[in-house]
Structure 1
């Protein structure tokens, strides 16, 4: 590894589970050959993961920030930002695998375009670099005249090449200026936080990437996707109780509702827009698809299980609300931003 002074600090934060921690960290150290600083934010991981990270921090010399409670993603990132002194910081979720030269190519794009934010080609799945999750996208607010003469403010959001095989669109994947990136992996010029301040912690579980990128654009910054840099986001079902409990809170109705309402109010958006209606209708879908529907279909594979699924969802929602309420009461004194 070169002795050149690091230009970037990698910030790793938990996304929705802890069981991929080792694979994620080892991937970064294995496939990152240029110098970098690293800050790992550990929000309430189980004892085995906590011990592993403490050992790795000592062995590899990275900074470890630990809390005993679960953290919303922006809260975790904000714990790291004040400790970053390099030109760039690079946010990476703890369920991502990187590829050779990923960081070099992100920095090259930032240097050649003067971009404020650069994202890689982000793939999804256990098969690395095969199916596209995000290759940049569009995200902006537009105004639309209504029949009553009022003006509705709405969000336009579009993901490029989502769920397409990389091989199928490879000739279309070129460096491109876009309007948003996602926090799965996002290179950011550190100086932008002097203008914007810290990330918005009221966005507990959703829209935080759109909020940040629109704020960057409003501040005169630019966003690029660099598909020569490739990472893979690896979603899996939670494997243990620590994973499950964090997952249920991370995607709780309370956190998602609060995030959507805050996003709508912050940007003065029309609440009746289909953009919000769609998301309110799908509230809790991550939990239900991960646990309930597979369980119901295993118990009762007959067609009438649709009714049973709905009853199970109703019960699960009640339980989920109780879990969230207990968490808020337990940490209300130390985590006001999560209330």
Structure 2
């Protein structure tokens, strides 16, 4: 049984919750294609560190969203110039390869000659136009990826370029690659034309009734753990999921103030500062211990740490 779902929501938390919902409710013989788009979003892999993979200050300034997905792999930028595809079916060793061949075939139908390269890239003229990742749950395969159609590559570059803080993480790093929009290769291609190609090819010999549109009003059944669909969306929105699930990392931050220089050496685990050492040339000999007491066991947020140091130095000690 073949089924296509088209998301009319650009909310990344909804789309990832719906994707997980499809995985949990897929039948053994079902083959599902889910097509979706997110707006102004960085999506990180299951085992990645958002502080290392993303310029969070730039993302916040641009009112972007960050979300952690269920699969592994690297960080990607999503906007409305990018189309995301998800294949859901029973797992088999060859299924991922078959899905990639399907994407390449759909691109060929639009006059684009693409090839599969490495572990998870689709290339056109040696430029990356698609990356993909997958996970398997209860023998159901969820294989998803991106198609760069007319994405804002300047934003992509800014969001996925981290600051120069010295950070060592046990998480998975993104692999940087040269990327290009499909629009630069074929002027007539759009998200709509690709959706039509993917849908018609996937539903060969099927009916229009096999296409279902979903939006933010979707409710669905509860998940196996008892969570409602709306609660699942909130989980994908939560700090605990997107930041608290990060791998342990060490961070060195150095800042200069009018009253002296501060070097912070932090150990962050599950998003919380568990150890802190402070070096400074400030005249207040007790300042390192004051700062350490103020920040230890608190959520790590770089934008809160610097104002906190200033408040501690001024004797206000306003904790975040």
- The TM-score normalised by the length of structure 2 is 0.27
More strand by share: 2
